[in-house]
Amino acid sequence: MEKFISVWVRDPRIQKNDFWHAHMDYEICIHTNSLCFTKKISCVRRRYSEFVWLRQKLQANSLLMVQLPELPPKNPFFSLNNAQQITKRMMGLQKFLELTLESNLLLSDSCLHLFLQSELGVSQIEACASGRTHYSVSQAVLRCGCKLQRFHSQEDLLETSRKESCDSDTVRNLNDAGH
């Protein structure tokens, strides 16, 4: 069987921080048969600023040995109510991930896997990837991936039935994350 990694960026949602502040986040779904991934099917939510962090982290970790694809540019006039801008950004984020996942060097980066398949925030991703947590990258992915609403495999259903809740000090509360 030929190796495949499919990635989708979809389902933009406005997350309100308070009365005056809000941001958009996007669902990232992965479906793969690649041995590089702990889970073969997963979905997480990320915001644009986290993509910016990921690109910077991947560039630093690869020691400039790989030219990373560009992200859609930051738009100071980005409107959470402009469907065309949101769609264009989503397409740009998806293209960034598709091109990133084509690089074998980048596929070996723990930060990429935690970004794509865990609910950890960026500081927890950095701590886990550098071995400063009591859990491994695989444990973070297996224990803290969000429940899949669109994809269900036998592996995920078994894991869900065995899964304990994630440590509250290691991941964002799923209720706070809008799930």
pLDDT band at 173 (very low <50, low <70, confident <90, very high): very low
Domains of the chain, with CATH numbers?
5-148 (3.30.1520.10)
| Predicted TM-score of the model (pTM) | 0.79
Q: What is the mean pLDDT of the chain?
A: 83
Q: What is the pLDDT of residue 143?
A: 81
Residue 93: the pLDDT is 98
Q: How confident is the model at residue 163 (pLDDT cuts 50, 70, 90)?
A: very low
H-only helix segments in the chain: 48-61, 83-100, 104-107, 110-117, 122-129, 137-144, 154-162
Which amino acid is residue 171, in one-letter code? V
Work out the average pLDDT over 94-121: 96
pLDDT, position 72: 95
Cα–Cα dist 86/75, whole Å:
11
Does residue 110 or residue 81 have the better pLDDT? 110
Residue 32 has pLDDT above 60, yes or no: yes
